[in-house]
A and B are shown apart, each in its own frame.
Chain A
Amino acid sequence: MTFVAKPTARHPSLKINEIGLTRRDYEGSVSTLCAGCGHDSVSAAIVSACAELGLPPHKFLKISGIGCSSKTPNYFLGHSHGFNSVHGRMPSVATGASLANKELYCLGISGDGDSASIGFGQFAHIVRRRINMLYIVDNNGTYGLTKGQFSATNDLGSTSKRGVPNLYEPIDLVSMAMQIGATFVARSFSGDKRQLVGLIKAGLMHRGFSFIDVISPCVAFNNHNGSTKSFAHMRNMQREVVSADYVAPQVEMQIDYAAGETEDVTMPDGAHLRLRKLHSDYDPHDRLHAINYLGERGREGEVVTGLLYVKSDTENTHDILNLVDTPLNSLDEEDLCPGLDALESINQSFR
C-alpha cells in the first residue's frame, strides 16, 4: 500500500463526459490494498465504466461485506453513498437498500470468502430474489486478509504458495448464479480491462440481477506457479466467448464487425447491449447450454470469460412485488398510513 494520495493533476486531454466530469472525478480515496492487487484494477474498471456511462456519482449506492474486496468501495466513486456491512451479509443490506430506493444504481462488491463461504446462503437468496443490482465478486481463491488459506472457490489441485495442493472441489459462483435466476451472468479477469469495463457498463445498465465473477489475482498469496488464479494462469487459460458493451439509446447503431459476429440486444431503456461472439458454438441466451459449456471447458482447465448468460425481458424484485413507481423512501405519511378506512377495506378483502 502507499500513503501518498494520487495527485489531483490530470491529463489535459482527458475526456469530459455528458455531465461534465472526467474519469478522475469518479475515483475514491487512496487504496490501502497491497501493491499490484487485482482488486485495484477492478476498482479502476468501475471508475472507467461509470465515467463512460456519464452517470452521476451521487446516484450510486456501493455496498460490501468484509474482506479485501469489501474494502474497495472506498477506493472508487468518492462522492456516492456507501455501506460497509457485516461479513457475508451484504446481500441482506443491499436488498433492503434497493427496496427502499429503487432509483439508486446499486453496486455490491464482495469476495470469494464473503460470498462463497460465510455468505453463501445470502448470495443464493439475493440471486433468487433478482434484486436490481450489479453484484461483483473479486475472486482471488484465497483468504488474503488472513494470510493465504484456500478459499471455497480455489480449484481442486491448485497449490498454495508453499506447494500444498487444495483437496476440495471449488464452488463455481457463475454456474450457481445461472441456476438460480440471475439474468446477467459474466466472468472476467482484472487484467483484461477492455473486457471488464464493457461488462461492468452492461451489468450496471441491465435491469435485473447482474453478476460478474472477476478473477482478481492476489499478488501476496495466490500469484505463484501452481495457482489457477494467478496473472500468468489467467493469461494462458482465459477463453473469451462473448464480449459485451453498452450502447446508449442516443447512439446510432453501427455495425463495425462482420455480419453474424455481433448481436444487439434491445434493453428496456431503448439502449442496446452489443454482444460480440468470439466463439461460434456459444449461445449466451441458452442457460443450460452455458452451464454445460462451462463445465466441459473447466475440465480442460480453461477459464471461460465474457458475457456468459443474458436475459433482457425479465422481471426484477420491484416488478415481482408490484411496487409503486415512487421509491419507498419518498412516500409521505399519507401514502404510508392511509387511515382506518383503508385498513378496514383491506381487512374486508380477506374475509
Chain B
Amino acid sequence: MKPTNIHNPDYFHKVVDCQWACPAHTPVPEYIRLIAAERYTEAYMLNWDSNVFPGILGRTCDRPCEPACRRVRTEEKPVAICRLKRVAADYKGDITDYLPPVPKKKNGFRVALLGCGPASLAVARDLLPLGYEVHMFEKDPAGGGMMRTQIPAFRLPADVLEEEVDLILDMGVECHFGHEITSMKEMLDMGFDAYFVGTGAPRGRDLDIPGRAESDAHISIGIDWLSSVAFGHTTSIQGKVIVMGGGNTAMDCCRTSKRLGAESVHVVVRSGFDVMKASEWEKEEAMLEGIPIINNRPPREFVHEGGKLKGIWFTCIEQVPDENGRLKSVPTGEPDVFMEADHVLMAIGQENHCPWIERDLGIEFDKWDCPVLDEITFQSTNAKVFFGGDSAFGPENIIWASAHAHQAAISIHLMCQGKDLKKDRPPRGVNLISQKMGVHEWSYDSEHDPAKRVFVPHSKLDKTLSNIKVEVELGFDARLGAHEAQRCLNCDIQTVFTEKLCIECDACVDICPMDCISFVENGEEAELRTRLMAPAENLEQDLYVSEALPTTRVMVKDEDLCLHCGLCAERCPTNAWDMQKSVFHLPQLGSYAE
C-alpha cells in the first residue's frame, strides 16, 4: 500500500466517525469536551455555528452520528451525542457577545428565501452577516416551518423553538409571513438577485384503496393534522384512532392522539418492526406510552356506513428476503383482519410538491417531480434559483437542511460576487495540533472511561399524557451530562506517526489495548488486512500506512477500533507517535469560528 496522506482533509475526518456521519459535520468531540468542562455557552456556539439549531436538534435530531459512534464498535451503546447537545443548549449563558455582527450598511444584494423552515433560516443566518438584504416569504403566520408544524410540543417545547427561530429573524430578516406564494413567476418578477426555495416536502401521501373517498370525513393526512394541532385549530380527537405508517410522523400522530383524548390508539404498519422508518427511540417512547404497534398488515379497504367510517380490513403478510437479500412481502395465508376505527391518520410518507412553480421559468424538474439540482452547489437549472432542505432531494431531517443551507449560501454568495460556483468554492482543510503538554501530560482527558451509557430522565407518564405541552424527555442535568461526556473517545485527537523518529522498539504494539498497531512487511490492502495484530475486517475504516522503516517493514494502524487513549504516544521513547487534534475547516459563510 502507498503511505497514507494524512494531510488530505478527509483522511482524519473519516476517523471522527460522528462528525463524518453528520451531514453538517458538527465537531462533536470538541463540543463534548467543552460540555465536560462546563463551558456550555462555547459548546452551544460551536453547534450553532455548524448546525444552526442546537436546542431543537438536541431534542429532535435523527442522530446519524450515534449509530456511527466508535463506541458502538468497541462495546455496544454510542455516546448520547444528541442529548449532550441539548445539555449545551439548556445550560448555556448569554450568547449575545458571540453572535456575528450584522452590518447596518447592506452590500446591495437582495435575496428571497421561500418558506421559513430550517433550510431558509440557515441560509439567512449565513448571508446576513455578509450584508445581504434577506426577504423571507412564509404561508404560516409564524416561522419555523415543519419544526413548528410537525414536531409536537411534548417533543419540542414552543419556547425552545421560538428562541432559535427568533434569534435568526432578529438578525434582520424582512419577514413576509402569512404570504402564500402562488406563482414563482411573480417572485422572479420582483427582481431579487437570488432565490432560495426551502418550502419542504409539504404533501403527505394518500392511499388509493376502496372506501377511501367515502370515508374522507374521518381520514386525515398526518402532517396536515399535526400542523392543525400545532396552530391550535384541532384540540381533540374522538373514539378509536388508527395511525397508518411506520415513520416518525406516525409516531408523532399516535402520541398526539393519545394526548388529545382518543379512546384507543393503534399504529398499523405495512412492513416489519425492524425495517420501520421511525427512529428506535421514537418507537420505544410510543410503546412506553401504551400504544400498540402492529406490523406486517397492509390495508385492503376502508369500511363505511352512511358516510361514517367503521374500520379497516388488513391483509396479513410476512417479509422474507429474496435471493438478493432484499425483503419481499409474501401473504401468510391467514384470514384478513378487521380493525374498528372512528378516525384514521395517514402517515405513510410525504413528497415534494411545487405546483406554484411554473414549468416555463427554466427550472427543470425530473420524473419524480423533484427539481434538477447540482449536488454540490444546490443551484437549479435557473442560475438564480437554489433549493435546499426537503424541497431539494425529498424528505430528510433538520440536520440535512442545515447542511444544504450552508452550501447554498456559499453558492449564492459566489454568484452575487460574479465568481464560479465550483472553481472558486473554498476548499476543505485540516489542521493538526499536538496535544502534548508534558512528558505524560495531554491537553485532553486521554483515559478511557468504560462506563455504560447514561439513562435520560423522563417526566411522569400521567403528567405527559394529560397535557400535550409537557415535555417527555427531561434531558441530562449537569452531573449526568458530565458523566456521559466522559464516555466520548475523543476520536478527533489523532495518532500521528513520524517514520524518521521510529526505532521499531514495539512499545506501541505491546501497549495498544485494541491491537490496532502492527509493524509488518507491506502488501496489497486486502492481504495486508489479514496479517495485522488483529485482522482488520471493517472495510469502511481505513488503514494508516507509513513509509518504509529501516527494517523495510511499514507501520500499519487499523483505525477501526482505536480508543484514542494515547498510550502509543505515551510509550513511544522517541515521540514518533504524537496525539494531535485534527481541526477541520469546512467552508461556511459568516462562521463564528473563523
CB <8 Å contact, A9 and B505: no
Q: Are B550 and A235 in contact (CB under 8 A)?
A: yes
Complex: how many Å from CA A52 to CA B125? Answer: 61
- A6 neighbours in B (Cβ, 8 Å): 511, 513, 567
- Interface flags for A213-243 (1: CB within 8 Å of B; 0: not) read 0000101000100000001100100000000
Please tell me if the beta carbons of B514 and A9 are within 8 angstroms of each other in the complex.
Answer: yes
Least Cβ–Cβ distance between A195 and chain B, in angstroms? 13
Which of A24, A190, A231 has the largest count of B CB atoms less than 10 A from its CB? A231
From A38-46, A171-179, A330-338, the one touching the partner chain is A38-46
Range, interface on chain B = 20 to 34
One of A29-37, A84-92, A303-311, A339-347 contacting the partner: A29-37
Q: Which B residues are in CB contact (< 8 Å) with A191?
A: 504-506
Q: Are B448 and A9 in contact (CB under 8 A)?
A: yes
Q: Are B534 and A11 in contact (CB under 8 A)?
A: yes
Instruction: Return the contact of A9 from the options B75, B506, B570 (Cβ within 8 A).
Output: B75
A82 CB to closest chain B CB (Å) equals 20
Nearest CB of A to B317, in Å: 36
Partner of B504, one of A7, A34, A231: A231
CB distance B573 to A36 under 8 Å?
Answer: yes
- Residues of chain A within 8 A (CB-CB) of B566 are 4
Complexed CA–CA distance, A37 and B506 (Å):
9
Closest B residue to A34 by beta carbon equals B573
Docked complex Cα distance between A43 and B440 (Å): 22
CB contacts (< 8 Å) of B286 on chain A: these are none
Do residues A35 and B571 form an inter-chain contact, with CB atoms below 8 A? yes
Chain A residue contacts of B446, Cβ below 8 A = 4
**Could you give, for residues 137-160 of chain B, a 1 whenever the CB lies within 8 Å of some chain A CB and a 0 otherwise?**
000000000000000000000000
Task: Check: B119 CB closer than 8 A to any chain A CB.
Answer: no
- B567, A41: Cβ atoms closer than 8 Å: no
A4 to B566, CA, bound (A): 9
Q: What's the Cα separation between A259 and B206 when bound, in Å? A: 76
On whether the beta carbons of B448 and A7 are closer than 8 Å, the reply is yes
Q: Report how far A2 CA is from B573 CA in the complex, Å.
A: 11
Residues of B with C-beta under 8 A to A14: 515, 534
Given contacts A7-B450, A9-B74, contact A41 B506 (CB under 8 A): yes
* Contact A44-B510, Cβ < 8 Å, known A7-B563, A9-B75, A9-B448: yes
Asked whether A10 is an interface residue with its Cβ less than 8 Å from the other chain, the reply is yes
Question: Closest A-chain residue to B560, C-beta based?
Answer: A11
Closest Cβ of chain B to A46, distance in Å, is: 11
Contact check: which of B447, B505, B572, B574 meets A4 at CB < 8 Å? B447
Assembly CA distance A70 to B73 (angstroms)? 38
- Say yes or no: is B535 at the interface (Cβ < 8 Å to chain A): yes
Could you tell me if B573 and A35 are in contact, using CB atoms closer than 8 angstroms?
yes
Per-residue CB contact flags for chain B residues 447-472 toward chain A (1 = under 8 Å, else 0) read 11010000000000000000000000
Tell me, in angstroms, the Cα distance from A10 to B515 when the chains sit together. Answer: 8
The main secondary structure of chain A at its interface with chain B is: loop
Query: Contacts A9-B74, A36-B572, A191-B505: A232 and B515 contacting too (C-beta < 8 A)?
Result: no
Per the bound structure, the CA–CA distance linking A38 and B507 in Å amounts to 8
Q: Which residues of B contact A3 (CB under 8 A)?
A: 440
In the complex, which residue of chain A has the Cβ closest to the Cβ of B71? Answer: A9
Q: Mark A1-27, 1 if CB is under 8 A from B, else 0.
A: 111101111111110000000001000
* Any B CB within 8 A of the CB of A193: yes
B263 at the interface (CB under 8 A from A): no
Max chain B C-beta neighbours (<10 A), residue from A11, A41, A191: A11
Q: How far, in angstroms, from A66 to B498 measured CA to CA in the complex?
A: 36
Which chain B residues lie closer than 8 Å to A190 at the CB level?
506
State in angstroms the CA–CA spacing of A235 and B573 once bound together.
18
Name the CB-closest residue of B to A42.
B510
Answer yes or no: B89 CB below 8 A from chain A CBs. no
Contact of B505 with A41 in the complex, beta carbons under 8 Å: yes
- Residue of A1, A13, A38, A43 touching B535 (CB-CB under 8 A): A13
Is A217 a contact partner of B505 (Cβ separation < 8 A)?
yes
Number of interface residues of A (CB under 8 A): 32
Please, which residues of chain A bring their CB within 8 A of the CB of B507? 35-37, 40-41
A37 to B505: give the CA distance in the assembly, Å.
Answer: 8
Complex contact A36–B537 (CB within 8 A)? no
Tell yes or no: B503 within 8 A of A by CB. Answer: yes
Min distance, Cβ B347 to any Cβ of chain A, angstroms = 38
Q: Please determine whether A13 and B534 come into contact, CB atoms closer than 8 angstroms.
A: yes
Asked if B244 is at the interface (CB within 8 A of a chain A CB), the reply is: no
B485 neighbours in A (Cβ, 8 Å):
none
Contact of A35 among B448, B534, B572 (CB under 8 A): B572
Tell me if B561 counts as interface (CB < 8 A to partner A).
Answer: yes
Quick one: closest A residue to B576, CB to CB? A36
Q: Which residues of A contact B73 (CB under 8 A)?
A: 12
Bound-state CA distance A43–B506 (Å) is 12
B565 in the interface, Cβ–Cβ < 8 Å? yes
CB distance from B355 to the nearest CB of A (A): 53
Residue B96 lies at the interface, judged by CB distance under 8 Å to chain A:
no
Is the pair B563, A9 in contact by a Cβ cutoff of 8 Å?
A: yes
Among candidates B505, B509, B561, B563, residue contacting A231 with C-beta atoms closer than 8 Å: B505
Contact B513 A7 (CB under 8 A): yes
In the assembled complex, the Cα of A235 lies from the Cα of B504 at a distance in Å of: 10
B551 interfacial contact with A, CB 8 Å: yes
Q: Distance in Å from the Cβ of B195 to the closest Cβ of chain A?
A: 51
Within 8 Å CB of B534, what residues of A?
11, 13-14
Q: Are B565 and A4 in contact (CB under 8 A)?
A: yes
Give the residue name and chain of the A residue nearest to B514 (CB).
Answer: A11
Within 8 A of A (CB), among B549-594: 550-551, 561, 563, 565-567, 570-574
A44 and B515 alpha carbons, distance in the complex (Å): 12
B503–A36 touching, CB < 8 Å: yes
Contacts of A11 in B (CB 8 A): 514-515, 534, 561
Q: Verify B450–A9 contact, CB threshold 8 A.
A: yes
Q: Report B25 CB to chain A, min CB distance, Å.
A: 27
CB of B537 to closest CB in A, whole Å: 7
Smallest beta-carbon distance A154→chain B, Å: 20
- A219: chain B residues within 8 A (beta carbon): 503, 505, 573
Q: In the bound complex, how far is the Cα of B568 from the Cα of A40, in angstroms?
A: 13
Distance (Å) between the CB of A222 and the closest chain B CB?
Answer: 13
Question: Complex Cα distance A171/B67, Å?
Answer: 60
| Contact A36–B514 (Cβ < 8 Å) | no
Q: How near does chain A come to B59, taking the closest CB pair, in angstroms?
A: 31
Residues from chain B with a CB closer than 8 A to the CB of A1 are 440
How long is the Cα–Cα vector from A213 to B447 in the complex, in angstroms?
Answer: 36
Q: Which residues of B contact A235 (CB under 8 A)?
A: 504, 550-551
Nearest CB in chain B to that of A190: its residue: B506
Whole-angstrom distance between the Cβ of A27 and the nearest chain B Cβ: 10
> Which of B537, B572, B573 gathers the greatest number of chain A CB atoms within 10 Å?
B573
Nearest chain A residue, comparing its CB with the CB of B505: A36
Contact A10/B505 with A2-B571, A34-B573 known, Cβ cut-off 8 Å: no
Q: Is B506 touching A4 in the complex (CB atoms < 8 A)?
A: no
A192 and chain B: residue at smallest CB distance: B506
Complex Cα distance, B506 from A96, in Å, reads 35
Interface hits, A170-226 → B, CB 8 Å: 190-191, 193, 217, 219, 223
Chain B residues positioned under 8 Å from A9 (CB to CB): 74-75, 448, 450, 513-514, 563
Interface members, chain B 417-473 (any A CB < 8 Å): 440, 446-448, 450
Residues of chain B lying within 8 A (CB to CB) of residue A223: 503
List, in ascending order, chain A residues with CB within 8 A of B511's CB.
2, 6, 40
Given the known inter-chain contacts A2-B571, A41-B505, please indicate yes or no for A7 contacting B565, CB distance below 8 A: yes
Q: Give the shortest distance, in Å, between B548 (CB) and chain A (any CB).
A: 14
Q: Which residues on A sit within 8 Å (CB–CB) of B535?
A: 13
Using CB atoms and an 8 Å cutoff, list the residues of chain A in contact with chain B.
1-4, 6-14, 24, 34-38, 40-41, 43-44, 190-191, 193, 217, 219, 223, 231-232, 235
Can you list 8 A-B contacts (CB < 8 A)? A1-B440, A2-B571, A4-B440, A4-B570, A36-B505, A41-B506, A223-B503, A231-B504
Closest A-B pairs by Cβ, 10 of them: A36-B573, A7-B448, A44-B510, A2-B570, A36-B505, A219-B573, A11-B534, A36-B507, A7-B513, A35-B573
Q: A35-B570, A232-B503 are in contact. List 4 more A-B contacts (CB 8 A).
A: A3-B440, A7-B565, A8-B450, A14-B534
